Amino acid sequence: MSNVIEHWRDGMVFAGSSSATAPVTNPATGAVTGEVALASVEDARAVIDSAAAAFPAWRDASLAKRASVLFAYRELLNKRKGELAEIITSEHGKVLSDALGEVSRGLEVVEFACGIPNLLKGGFTENASTKVDVHSVLQPLGPVGIISPFNFPAMVPMWFFPIAIAAGNTVVIKPSEKDPSASLWMARLWKEAGLPDGVFNVLQGDKTAVDELLTNPKIKAISFVGSTPIAQYVYATATAAGKRVQALGGAKNHAVILPDADLDLAADAMVNAGFGSAGERCMAISACVAVGPIADELVAKIAERTITIKTGDGTKDSDMGPLVTKVHRDKVATYIDAGEAAGAKVVVDGRTVMDGAGDRDPSGFWLGPTLLDNVTPEMSVYTDEIFGPVLAVLRVETYDEALALINSNPYGNGTAIFTNDGGAARRFQNEVEVGMVGINVPIPVPMSYYSFGGWKASLFGDSHAHGAEGVHFFTRTKAITTRWLDPSHGGINLGFPENK
């Protein structure tokens, strides 16, 4: 079979024993561009075994060695990030500039991990007891699994694997079947950077591969990003198998627009945050909460900007690309249908994007940006995570109503407030029950040296991604108590040790 996207183990592609595959498509044309291998249990174990075999030597590699490999990887990735962006666009559909931005944000975590010698410093206490010293060290866990989603095939894995590898762990990444090629490109880059074979591995596949990662005793930790139901499954299954887990789930991100806000700034932000990457972002704003009398003007400004968005092939002069699959495109369209049937006003209708389609391939998975007004909290277009270019406007009278709306939502990933009132902003950042907050910033993705993660049903586990929490997640602390004896022994004492 031509163009089979295979696994990666021991520093080379690995075909595996399974003949099962799944199609990989170009969302802009609908054409099948390749077939991704679907691992059997035996294939998954072979890849995991490679990570396990490589762990002792990589664990014992000096911090200077690990850092030098990270620096080399950083330089190669920065030089050739355009190649990776093109691969992402060809399988995901997002426009090239968006794909390049994704790679650049992942690169920031690689840069953070280059400082691993400083990040892994332990502590030392001299003479904690008489002639007894105590010190602590941070040690790697072992082989770790990363299960990443389709929407960021480069950035999300890079939230995890640079820190995991820098800390001395080995990695098995299971990318989405929808856009699996980016993972193999990154694997080849690691080899070019000098990473020893077996430290970075790629396991292609579906639930069979995932379940083996979750239950195989050689895998010590799992990092996951995806929908909340799957995050719950990953967390329950992997923790039951004794693993450390960080499972980042779904989102319903709100932006509150207060009456004193700059409405032009707010409208720009709603369009950018609602429709960038066709809304297929866990940090996308999907609920715009207009407070007080500004709703009509705000909706008009958002609509003016929305109708100028050019939806098309991500490799051409387009603002927004297609959705990742036809099935997903059709599912998102049903939410627009349901919202309209429930009484929401369709201000801009993305279902009509193929009317006068221009140079869009009729086989592509097209759905244009959609703006819905007068949405109410019981509508499915509000309650569900749609993961598409659908922005819902809800109208409330007061700040307290807006806050209650957000805090009663089961998700708590990201949120934003638009205001020129510092007191209101400070109150919001304190009172809102969400993990990442923007003040006049619509997509508050933290820098690599801060942690990324939500609250409530948006996170299962107690560690967020990257930053200091990432280092904590991929290491465990060992405390060592030392006494070098004098020439004369102290004699036998069966009592409990006391500090003196």
Element spanning 403, H or E: helix 399-407
Measured distance CA(36)–CA(20) in Å, rounded: 9
Distance of alpha carbon 210 from alpha carbon 122, whole angstroms: 34
- Whether 337 contacts 315, CB under 8 Å: no
Select from 176, 91, 152 the least CA-distant residue to 277. 152
Task: Please give the backbone phi and psi of residue 22, each rounded to the nearest 5 degrees, phi first.
Answer: -135, 145
Cβ neighbours around 185 below 10 Å, total: 16
Residues 390, 370 contacting (CB under 8 angstroms): yes
Q: Is 288 a catalytic residue?
A: no
Q: How far is 77 from 437, CA to CA, in rounded Å? A: 30
Q: Check if the beta carbon of residue 244 is closer than 8 Å to that of residue 221.
A: yes
Report H helices in 205-261.
207-215, 228-240
| Eight-class DSSP state of 315 | T
> Left, alpha or beta for 455 (phi > 0: left; psi -120 to 50: alpha)?
beta
| Cα–chain center distance at 60 | 29
Q: How far apart are CA 244 and CA 242, in angstroms?
A: 7
- β-strand partners of 391: 371
**Contact of 441 with 416, CB cutoff 8 Å:** yes
As a whole number of angstroms, the distance between CA 338 and CA 390 comes to 12
Q: How far apart are CA 255 and CA 257, in angstroms?
A: 6
Segments of 89-220 assigned E as strands: 123-129, 132-140, 143-147, 170-174, 200-202
Question: Any residues with CB less than 8 A from the CB of 485 and at least 6 apart, and which?
Answer: none
- Cα–Cα distances in angstroms (integers) from residue 230 to residues 60, 216, 219, 291, 379, in the given order: 35, 18, 19, 34, 23
For residue 220, with 0-12 CB atoms within 10 Å meaning exposed, 13-18 middle and 19 or more buried, which class applies?
buried
DSSP bridge pairs for 5: 36
Contact 72, 194 (CB under 8 A): yes
Amino acid (one-letter) located at 436: M
Candidate list 107, 248, 282, 457, residue with the active-site label: 282
By annotation, the residues acting in catalysis are 282
